[in-house]
Amino acid sequence: MSWKDEIEQLRKRQALAKGMGGPEKLKRQREAGRLNVRERLDLLLDSGSFREVGSITGRAEYDDAGNLIDFTPANCLFGRGKIEGRTIAVVADDFTVRGGAADAAIIEKQIQAEKMAGELRLPLIRLIEGTGGGGSVKSILDMGATYIPFNPGWDQVVANLERVPVVSLLLGPVAGLGAARAVSSHYSVMVKGSSQMFIAGPPVVAGIGEQVTKEELGGADLQLAAGAVDDAYASEADAMAAAKWFLSYLPNSIHDLPERRETTESPGRRDPALGDIVPRDKRYAYDMHQILRSVTDEGSLFEMGRNFGQSVITAFARLDGWPVAVLASNPKVYGGGWTAEAAQKITRFVDLAETFRLPVVHLVDVPGFVIGTRAERAGTLRHGARALSAIYQASVPWCTIVIRKAFGVAGAAMMDHTRFRYRYAWPSGDWGSLPLEGGVEAAFKAALAGADDPDAMKDDLNRQMKSFSSPFKTAERFWAEEIINPAETREKLTEFANLAAPLREPRTKAPRYRP
């Protein structure tokens, strides 16, 4: 007896499934400038490495004799594949089948994809296009009833944030539960011009009197500025390349450690140009990115979230091949001052480093919190205190380089000062409870008001204060541990990275991570 007929039936179903939503829907996808789901998997994964799970899942129709007459595949594909030889889990929406709506889905596929990533300890990439939620209005007619909403598999989505790296690529219009999945990631990327994200799309929003296009409602520029997604790129290929780059710094799970990569660069390479980069006039900014590129391994700086909380830079990089998390002030925006948005960005980034055991390098030039009524309305203090808590709760190795300013509560957030202070300062260091500019007027207000020559008294006080603010006088009291030649910064950081490497241990208990 042979099972030839059944094997043929299997092949027939697999072929029908690979037809996705059919020629007309596939044509429409191409005309919209977007790849179909299987083209995306081919682009993302090493050639021939995809192993699909649930390859013939879908809705079949049979004649009275039990013969298959039609088949619509589920709008969700998942399985495992390889990226540069590294096994990952991947789950992908098929927009050509009912526009990604859940009334065409077998929701258990998405749930199993999340479970596979978590239980097999594999990084997860979600390719999202559509709603992926409770279905369309049409599904209510099909079911004959409505239901109390719930988020299927959300326990697994939340759990994966604390156990494996999760990346979401938004590759078309994304709404509802699909949008919630997108932002519930460690790294999320949109494609400019062809992907949008919103709570509800334009037809629904029209019900509250707003007439907007998809791009106006949830285009990349809007979502980047809001901090809802991390990055956006010009093409799907570029977005996938960013996802691969991001994952290259992280372990497969919290039970593993980030890997070192071979490098031919000298760990002690010096850059004399750094000695001239910080202007003597504190009113002028400089390029912190230039410093970061100089001190890290060549080509290794991977910045994320550059459009949100822009007074702070968050990036991954390598030092002598070791992956590290880089936190840095951006003096070109608010002088490096902390806004509410910057504080939110810091909290999430420090939690990411803590989750996956990446040592943190912090380059500091912080004049304090940004002040004014706008800052107060934004809840800057509350968000700043949360960021400060994240820094003090972190247990990963931490190295701070004070480049220039460090003032007030935000300046004090350069590190947890109760730990061993692995810290260096440049000769351009300028610190205190508040900047001298304006501080003299506040501290000596009554005396200045009663002085015969207030301007002369203020000038004299400023001269005295300036003489006391020398970083060398701070170092003499061991309030600054070590002042270094800026050219030596890379050497100091690579020493830190090598000292920190043996201290990193896989987690036994996952920290709390929230998107």
Question: How many Å apart are CA 185 and CA 91, to the nearest integer?
Answer: 13
Grouping H, G, I as helix, E, B as strand and the rest as coil, residue 78 is: strand
pLDDT the model gives residue 470: 83
- Measured distance CA(419)–CA(152) in Å, rounded: 42
Check pLDDT > 70 for residue 218.
yes
Q: What is the pLDDT of residue 65?
A: 85
Q: What is the mean pLDDT of residues 411-437?
A: 87
- Min mean pLDDT across 72-81, 273-282, 470-479 is at 470-479
Percent above pLDDT 70 for the chain? 92
What value does the mean pLDDT of the chain take?
91
pLDDT, residue 317, reads 98
Q: In whole angstroms, give the CA distance from residue 291 to residue 307.
A: 20
Worst-scoring range by mean pLDDT, 42-56, 140-154, 206-220, 475-489? Answer: 140-154
- Can you give the pLDDT at residue 105? 60
**Span 438-485, pLDDT tens digits:** 555 556 666 677 777 777 777 776 676 666 678 888 888 999 899 999
Over residues 131-175, the pLDDT tens digits come to 765 555 566 666 677 777 778 889 999 999 999 999 999 999 999
Q: What pLDDT, on a 0 to 100 scale, did the predictor assign at position 68?
A: 87
pLDDT tens per residue, range 242-252: 999 999 999 99
**pLDDT exceeds 90 at position 89:** yes
Q: How many CB atoms lie within 10 A of CB 376?
A: 12
Q: Would you put residue 39 in left (φ > 0), alpha (ψ -120 to 50) or beta?
A: alpha
Q: Is 106 helix (H, G, I), strand (E, B) or coil?
A: coil
How far apart are the C-alpha atoms of 248 and 304, rounded to whole Å? 14
The answer, yes or no, to whether residue 299 has pLDDT greater than 90, is: yes
Interacting residues of 343 by C-beta distance below 8 A, sequence separation 6+: 309, 380, 383, 384, 386, 387
Domain boundaries, the chain: 4-247, 272-433+470-503
pLDDT tens-digit map of 344-371: 999 999 999 999 999 999 999 999 999 9
The two three-digit tokens of residue 353, written as one number: 């480093």
| pLDDT above 60 for 103 | no
> Taking a C-beta distance cutoff of 8 angstroms, is the pair 470, 218 a contact?
no
329 strand-pairing partners:
312
For residues 291 and 301, give the distance between their C-alpha atoms in angstroms, rounded to a whole number.
11
Scanning the structure block, which residue is given the tokens 């709570």?
A: 199
DSSP string, 385-433: HHHHHHHHH--S-EEEEEEEEEEHHHHHTTS-TTS---EEE-TT-EEES
Any idea how long the chain is? 515
Asked whether the domain spanning 272-433+470-503 has the same topology as the one spanning 4-247, the reply is yes
Report the C-alpha gap between 348 and 358 in whole angstroms: 14
| Cβ atoms 80, 121 nearer than 8 A | no
The confidence band for 420, taking pLDDT boundaries of 50, 70 and 90, is very high
pLDDT at 119: 97
Quote the CA–CA distance of 455 and 470 in Å, as a whole number.
23
Phi, psi angle pair for 171, to nearest 5°: -115, 15
Can you read off the two tokens belonging to residue 334? 């608010």
Which residue has 């043996």 as its token pair? 502
In eight-state DSSP terms, residue 46 is P
Q: Which residues pair with 78 in a beta bridge?
A: 53, 91
DSSP 372: S
Q: What are 390-404's pLDDT values in tens digits?
A: 999 999 999 999 999
Instruction: Give the pLDDT band (50/70/90) at residue 435.
Output: low
CA 472 to chain centre: 38
The encoded tokens of residue 161 equal 């944030």
In this structure, whether the domain defined by 272-433+470-503 belongs to CATH 3.90.226.10 is answered with: yes
Residues contacting 303, CB < 8 A, separation 6+ = 289, 313, 314, 315
Report the chain's C-alpha Rg in angstroms.
Answer: 27
Question: Residue type for 356, please?
Answer: F
* End-to-end Cα separation, the chain, in angstroms: 56
Domain 4-247, CATH: 3.90.226.10
Instruction: Note the pLDDT of residue 370.
Output: 95
% of the chain with per-residue pLDDT over 90: 73
